[in-house]
Amino acid sequence: LKKIAVVTSGGDAPGMNAAIRAITRLANLNKIEVTGFERGWEGILTNTHKPLTSRSVGGIIQQGGTMLRTARCTEFMQSSGVKQAAQILADHKTEALIVIGGDGSFKGAYDLSKQTDIKIIGIPATIDNDVFGTDETIGFDTAVNTAQTEIDKVRDTALSHERTFVVEVMGRKRGFLASAVGLAVGAEIILVPEVKHQDSRIYQKLKENTAKGKKSSIIVAAEGTGDTRTLAEQITKNTGMEARLTVLGYVQRGGSPTARSRILASLFAEKAIELLTQDKVNRIATFQRGRIGSIDLEKSCRTEKSLDTDLLELAEKLAT
C-alpha cells in the first residue's frame, strides 16, 4: 500500500481533525502517502484535494470541525455521481479511501464500493451516534458534554424562576444524543423521535411533578420530535406553568473535542490503517463493549442501530 486518500463527509463532528491527524501520521510511519479530498464527496467529484503530511496535520488535534471541510452532497446520491467519483479516484491512483462520517456518508461509501476496487474503510464520526455496529462515534461525547454545560445553565434559571424549560437538542432522526444528555442533566422528561409521545401525557407529568413539590422541570427534546416552540406554548396554556424554549442548535456540533472524542478518533484511525495493511477492506472501525474492532460496511449501512431505552427508563426513575 503506497497511496491512500481521506475524506470527511456529512455533518462535522468534534474529533474529525484528531482522526485526520492520526490517519496521516500512522500512514506516514508505514510509508504510505496521504491525500485529503476537500468538502466531502463534492471534493472527489470536483477533484479538489491536497497532500496531507505529518507536519500539515500538526496543531489540529484540539480543534473542532474538519480541516478538510465537509458538505452534504446530493449529486453523489445518484449513481452517475458515484461512477464519476470511482473514475476520479482511479485516475488519482489512490489505492484506498478512508471515509470519516456518519451513516449517510457510509451509504455513499458502500455505493462507491460497488463501483470500484479501491479499498474503502469507514471511521464513524457524528454527534448523532447513529451508526450501527459501534457503541460510540467520534464527536458524540463532545456534543453530550456541550449540551450538558448549556443545560446546566438553563437549570439555574429554571430553579430561580420556578419555570419549565423545553430544551431542544440535535437529532433529526435519532434520540441517542437526547437520551444521554437528558440522563446527564437530570431531565424530568426526555423526548426522542423513536418513541411517540402525547402532549397530554407531558402536561399530566408536569402537574404530577408540581404535586410532588417540584417547582421547575426540564424537558430535553430531540429536534425530530416535533415543533418545540408550540410544545412550550401549549405547556403554558394547558398547565398554567411558565414554560420557555431554548434551542441549542449548532453549538452542539462545534467546539474543542473532549479527551474521549480525541482518543476514540486516534484508536479508530489506528484500526483503519491496520485493516488496510492487512488487506481487510470495505469495513468500518467500531467500538463495542469497550473494545475497538470492525464490521462490514454493508452490514452497518443496512442495519438500523437500536436506541437503548434503558437510559430513558433510568432517567424517568431518577426524575421522581
**How many residues make contact with ligand F6P (CB under 6 A)?**
10
- Residue 8 near residue 100, CB atoms below 8 Å: yes
- Residue 125 near residue 287, CB atoms below 8 Å: no
Task: Kindly identify the residues of this chain, within the stretch 234-273, that bind ligand F6P according to CB under 6 A.
Answer: 253
- Residue 253 near residue 126, CB atoms below 8 Å: no
- For ligand F6P, the closer of residues 128 and 141 by Cβ is 128
Sign of CA dihedral 39, 42, 46, 50: positive
Least separation, in Å, of the C-beta of 91 and ligand F6P?
30
- For ligand F6P, the closer of residues 103 and 188 by Cβ is 103
By C-alpha distance, which of 162, 231, 165 is closest to 201? 231
Interface residue with ligand F6P among 27, 170, 284, 312 (CB under 6 A) is: 170
CA quadruple 142, 143, 146, 148: dihedral, nearest 10: -110
- For ligand F6P, the closer of residues 72 and 214 by Cβ is 72
Interface residue with ligand F6P among 5, 6, 7, 11 (CB under 6 A) is: 11
Task: Kindly identify the residues of this chain, within the stretch 173-212, that bind ligand F6P according to CB under 6 A.
Answer: none
Measured in degrees and rounded to the nearest 5, phi and psi for residue 74 equal -75, -30
285 in helix, strand or coil?
strand
Give yes or no: 128 in active site: yes
99 binds ligand F6P (CB under 6 A): no
Distance CA 301, CA 141 (A): 22
- For ligand F6P, the closer of residues 135 and 270 by Cβ is 135
Q: With left for phi above 0 and alpha for psi between -120 and 50, is residue 150 left, alpha or beta?
A: alpha
Least separation, in Å, of the C-beta of 119 and ligand F6P?
26
Print the binding letters for residues 281-320 with ligand F6P: x by CB under 6 A, - otherwise: ----------------------------------------
Interface residue with ligand F6P among 42, 95, 128, 188 (CB under 6 A) is: 128
Distance CA 99, CA 257 (A): 19
- Residue 35 near residue 5, CB atoms below 8 Å: yes
Distance CA 312, CA 315 (A): 5
Interface residue with ligand F6P among 171, 175, 193, 257 (CB under 6 A) is: 171
Catalytic residue, chosen from 103, 111, 128, 141, is: 128
Interface residue with ligand F6P among 4, 82, 127, 264 (CB under 6 A) is: 127
Bridge-based pairing state of the strands 217-222 and 164-169: parallel
Residues with Cβ < 8 Å from 297, sequence gap 6 or more?
A: 106, 109, 110, 113, 120, 122, 282, 283, 284
Print the binding letters for residues 54-93 with ligand F6P: x by CB under 6 A, - otherwise: ------------------x---------------------
- For ligand F6P, the closer of residues 216 and 261 by Cβ is 261
Least separation, in Å, of the C-beta of 88 and ligand F6P?
24
As annotated, the active-site residues are 128
Which residues in this chain contact ligand F6P in the complex, by CB under 6 A? 11, 72, 126-128, 170-172, 223, 253
